[in-house]
Structure 1
Amino acid sequence: MHPTDSAGDSSGPVAGEPVRHGTGVTSTRAFPTNAHPSHLDPFVLFERFYIEPDDGFPMHAHRGFEIVSYMLEGGMAHEDSLGVSHTATEGSAMHVTAGEGIRHSEFPADGAGCSGLQLWVNLARDEKEIEPDYADAAADELPTTDREGATITTVVGEGSPLETHATMEYLDAEVDGSWTWPIPEGWSGFCYGVSGSGTVDGAAFGEGDVLSVTDARSVDVRTADGLRVVSVSGRPHGEPIRQRGPFVL
């Protein structure tokens, strides 16, 4: 089934889909998948990747979108055609603007495997040809606050040094009890299970599950034993998302 440009199913959570990349890397993809066949404007793709010590992504090209990589375990070494060489470690994040075109590689660092989350964000039509760019933020640079029912780290949004061209917010929430995630008027978003178990809007929710939301409302996240989720929302561009492998036209 080919991805469409419509919003995903917001009726309830669906399970992520195992994906094996040609380089030998495995991922659990939230969307687009058979269960969630659409993109979610402005978001193109989201997945959790697992890279074994001898695997990785050799130098390859991207164009037309932004990439946010957020590390969960281990370290990932990034090199690109801008001359950047950087290793992202647990809790740190990298932002790449592919724009008119960039080449980069991603490999596990220090001879050990790694795991993280990668988000592709569409660039608006009038920004497709902007110059490529790179930025990163260490774990201690990402603001972490205690809110009612959860400890929240802001990967992209208020207080984070990482700025995307798309207007969006990316939260890492360690939920202990109950937490309410608000989605602004006119925005789309999704909630993805990183670890633990609980409920989202009353439905069972755990590692690898995704709930997409396309209307302004508050999402209720609850757990008895601990649940870690990432909650991502953004203002849609209102433009078709035309993904062709590593390019978004």
Structure 2
Amino acid sequence: MKYIRKSQERGSVDLGWLQSKHSFSFGSYYDPKHMGVSALRVINDDMVMPGKGFGTHGHRDMEIISYVMQGALKHEDSEGNKHTVPAGDVQRMSAGSGVMHSEYNASNTDQVKFLQIWIQPNKMGIKPSYEQKSIAQNGPLTPLLTPEGGENALSINQDASLSRLVLNAQQTFMLASGKQIGYLHIVKGSVMVDGKEFAAGDAFAVDPATELNLEATAELEALWFELPADF
């Protein structure tokens, strides 16, 4: 493994209305040892209190993905998109040449928990775009975003892909990074890899041409990124 990121070592933010864990340097949290992996720049594990959220703000030249784990997000942007993103849905916004947006907890009674993921694109200044989809699990490893989209996956403006890995307790599975850098972020449960156990919030990266034999030590949900090796 070329890089290991443990949950308890992540940056921590508590603003009352927002509790967040930052895998990589973001906002007021800065650590030069944790600036991202390849084109992956942000994984923020956010919990937003009822009725609260991120007011209107701008982005450009970034692929922004929301992976909702609990509750629902209310999204509005300057391109006219107004959507609710429930748990189980995946959302991708390409900020491109510039977009203003807001994200709020859609509930006035329940918390929303989601992963905010940023990936740098390989095309700058493009027209902003938006996609959202509920993607059913199909086998242990299901594509969520790919460069071309299709086959029920969303598209992304980068030579990168994101898949959801789901394993039952004691189930084994082999992951291969192929020609790209692999990065596994544990959403829930736990898994044993090369004699090391990883639990919710933990993550690690591997070089291209690496094969990983995984054994879930508890019911597992994880995100598997395949990222450019030459970024």
Q: TM-score band, normalised by the shorter chain?
A: 0.7 to 0.9
What is aligned with 2:69?
72
- What SS class does the counterpart of residue 72 from structure 1 fall into? strand
Q: Residue in 1 aligned with 2:175?
A: 181
Amino acid at match of 2:126: I
Note the C-alpha offset of 1:128: 1.7
Structure 2 residue aligned with 1:119? 117
Percentage of identical aligned residues: 22
Cα 1:218/1:228, change in 2 over 3 Å:
same
Deviations 1:112-144 (A, max 9, x none): 2111122111022xx22111111111x2xx242
Structure 2 match to 1:130: 126
Matched, 1:20 2:13: yes
Query: Partner residue of 1:105?
Result: 102
Measure how far apart 1:30 and its partner are: 2.1
Contact 1:74-1:115 within 8 A present in 2 as well: yes
Q: Of residues 224, 227, 232 in structure 1, which corresponds to 2:220?
A: 227
Q: Between Structure 1 and Structure 2, how many residues are aligned?
A: 220
Alpha-carbon spacing, 1:145–1:188, altered in 2? closer, same or farther (3 Å):
same
- The answer for the alignment partner of 1:4 in structure 2 is none
Deviation at 1:97, TM superposition (A): 0.6
Consecutive unaligned residues of structure 2, counting only runs of 5 or more, are none
- Root-mean-square deviation (CA, aligned residues, Å) is 2.2
1:66-90 CA deviation, whole Å, 9 max, x = no partner?
1111111111000000011000001
Corresponding residue for 1:152? 141
Higher mean C-alpha displacement, 111-120 vs 217-226 = 217-226
Report the TM-score, using the length of structure 1 for normalisation.
Answer: 0.80
Question: Which 4+ runs in 1 deviate beyond 3 A?
Answer: 21-24, 32-36
Q: Hey, what's the Cα distance between the residues in 2 that align with 1:57 and 1:23? A: 13
Change (3 A) 1:193 1:67: same
Structure 2 partner of 1:3: none
Question: In 2, Cα distance between the equivalents of 1:152 and 1:188?
Answer: 17
Whole-angstrom CA distance in 2 between matches of 1:198 and 1:161 = 25
CA distance change for structure 1 residues 21 and 165 in 2, over 3 Å: closer, same or farther? farther
Q: Does 1:167 align with 2:159?
A: yes
Do the aligned partners of 1:14 and 1:36 also contact (CA within 8 Å) in 2? Answer: no
Alignment partner, residue 204 of structure 2: 211
CA contact (8 A) 2:165 2:222 kept: yes
Contact kept? 1:13, 1:205, Cα under 8 Å = no
Distance 1:230 1:45 in 2: 14
**Structure 1 unmatched runs, 5+:** 1-8, 239-249
Which has the higher mean CA deviation after the structures are superposed, 9-18 or 172-181?
9-18
Distance 1:161 1:222 in 2: 26
One-letter amino acid of the structure 1 residue matched with residue 105 of structure 2: P
What do residues 153-205 of structure 1 show as CA deviations (whole Å, max 9, x unaligned)? 321136234100112221111222111111121x1231111111231232111
Letter in 2 for 1:80: D
Query: Residues 186-236 of structure 1: CA distance to partner in whole angstroms, max 9, x if unpaired?
Result: x12311111112312321110110101233212222123322211111224
Q: 1:217 to 1:237 in 2, by over 3 A?
A: closer
